[in-house]
Amino acid sequence: MTDALAGSGLVVVDKPAGMTSHDVVARLRRYFSTRRVGHAGTLDPMATGVLVVGIERGTKFLAHLVASTKSYEATIRLGAATSTDDAEGDVISGASAASISTEQVLAGIAALTGEIMQKPAKVSAIKIDGKRAHERVRDGEDIDIPARPVTVSRFDALDFRREGEFFDIDVSVDCSSGTYIRSLARDLGEALGVGGHLTALRRSAVGPFLLSDALTLESLETTPQLSLSIDEALSRSYPVLDVTEQEAAALAMGKWLEPRGLKGTYAAVDPQGRSIALIKEKGARLATVFVARPSTL
């Protein structure tokens, strides 16, 4: 094993509004002078906040972040439904929310908390027969995306404001990957009979990666740097299992170890503090799930 992975890891970007996640990736390809850049979970152009980006071998690790819990701060406007379930779409229906009480809002939020069935927005990035939903909508297709199970572990109302016929609610949400916050806004508005959409969205966390880890594009352009090395990324994301030099060498070659009664996935870390692989017990083997430092590098 060598230090060939010195430039591999994750960059936690504080995405600005008005940019797509792909725009951010394109910027970082230039800043880091590599094509091996990818992101873990799309953020809409309107949204800001945590976008986890893999650099070099860090891109291979992104697949193991898919199931992470995500956290958001958002503003929901009651009184109008839009074609995109957010402020960028056209208003398609609505009714005055002036008579909606905070108690009604809180009851509606409670009904959307926990394990729920959610229908993604028609302009989402979900693929239908190999083509993204928003592309089908732009092409004039009328699509219906089936509801799917998601988990909203926390849905708190932080502040309420009346804006004429509208009722704005600042909320904080913890949810499973694949949950659409603008769909929560839509469904809350539908449940209250007045329509609803999202007017602001900021992602504050993706799993263990927080806004406090995030770097701006301006700072990255001046000083391209990783937020976390590949070693730090694995050890922060999973519980650590210390392994010997010999065990680390075996894992680096994709070999398995003897089982030791572990539950779930662990980051195998060698005596030098290097994260060698993600490992998980499979039957009578402690096998690799992802090799961060393969012996071939």
Give residue 89's pLDDT.
86
Which of 178, 123, 163, 167 is closest to 145 using CA atoms? 123
For every one of its 297 residues, what pLDDT tens digit does the chain have, with 9 covering 90 and above? 446 778 899 999 999 999 999 999 999 999 999 999 999 878 888 899 999 999 999 999 998 876 678 999 999 999 999 988 999 888 999 999 999 999 999 999 999 999 999 998 766 656 555 555 555 555 555 666 789 999 999 999 999 999 999 999 999 999 998 899 999 999 999 999 999 999 999 999 999 999 999 999 999 999 999 999 999 999 999 999 999 999 999 999 999 999 888 999 999 999 999 999 999 998 889 999 999 999 886
> Cα–Cα distance between 14 and 52 in angstroms, integer?
9
Q: What is the DSSP string of 217-277?
A: HHHHHHS---SEEHHHHHHHHS-EEE--HHHHHHHHTT--B------SEEEEE-TTS-EEE
Give residue 260's pLDDT.
87
Q: Of residues 3, 14, 44, 170, which has the active-site annotation?
A: 44
Give me the torsion for CA of 284, 289, 292, 294, rounded to 10°. 60
CA distances from residue 200 to 34, 77, 172 in whole angstroms, order as listed: 33, 9, 12
Strand order in the sheet with 240-242: 240-242, 265-269, 275-282, 285-291
The CB density around residue 75, as the number of other CB atoms within 10 Å, is: 19
| pTM of the model as a whole | 0.88
Give residue 242's pLDDT.
95
Cβ pair 160, 168 in contact under 8 A = yes
Active site residue 44: yes
Give residue 115's pLDDT.
97
Q: Which domains does the chain have, with CATH numbers?
A: 9-68+207-231 (3.30.2350.10), 70-202 (3.30.2350.10), 238-291 (2.30.130.10)
End-to-end CA distance of the chain: 7
